[in-house]
Amino acid sequence: AQSVTQLDSHVSVSEGTPVLLRCNYSSSYSPSLFWYVQHPNKGLQLLLKYTSAATLVKGINGFEAEFKKSETSFHLTKPSAHMSDAAEYFCVVSFQGGKLIFGQGTELSVKP
């Protein structure tokens, strides 16, 4: 069975400090993994995806994530937070047939 767990429901950082959003997955085979971002009252936008190429994946807006098979993790990071990064972030694992399983989301707050 496949599942995804986002370890923090809410993360708060100061502008200019690093961001770490944690995600662990469970998959019976080599998964495809995604991070999506949702700004208030908006749809979901793809940040980045992992599909068994390089384990360090770079996405938009300075975000990146590292696939660690031994830890079954796919944490999202950014060296320096910006006010515009405040949003909800979803870690997503693929399922057979193209279905996606979404984590419960992590709300990121950025303080000035």
Q: Tell me the Ramachandran region of residue 7: left when phi exceeds 0, alpha when psi lies from -120 to 50, beta otherwise.
A: alpha
User: Is 112 a residue that touches other proteins (CB under 8 A)?
Assistant: no
User: Is 99 a residue that touches other proteins (CB under 8 A)?
Assistant: yes
Looking at the Cβ atoms of 15 and 32, the one nearer to other proteins is 32
Nearest distance from C-beta of residue 68 to other proteins, angstroms: 19
- Which of 11-19, 59-67, 69-77, 98-106 is the region at the interface with other proteins (rule: CB under 8 A)? 98-106
Please state, as a whole number, how many other Cβ atoms lie within 10 Å of the Cβ of residue 2: 16
Contact set for other proteins, span 31-90 (CB under 8 A): 32, 34, 36, 42-46, 49, 51, 90
User: Is 7 a residue that touches other proteins (CB under 8 A)?
Assistant: no
Complete DSSP assignment for the chain: --EEEES-SEEEEETTS-EEE-EEEE-SSPPPEEEEEE-TT--EEEEEEESSS-SEEE-GGG-EEEEETTTTEEEEEESS--GGG-EEEEEEEE-GGG-EEE---EEEEEE-
- Which of 19-27, 57-65, 71-79, 94-102 is the region at the interface with other proteins (rule: CB under 8 A)? 94-102
Binding site for other proteins (CB under 8 A): 32, 34, 36, 42-46, 49, 51, 90, 94-95, 97-100, 102, 104-105
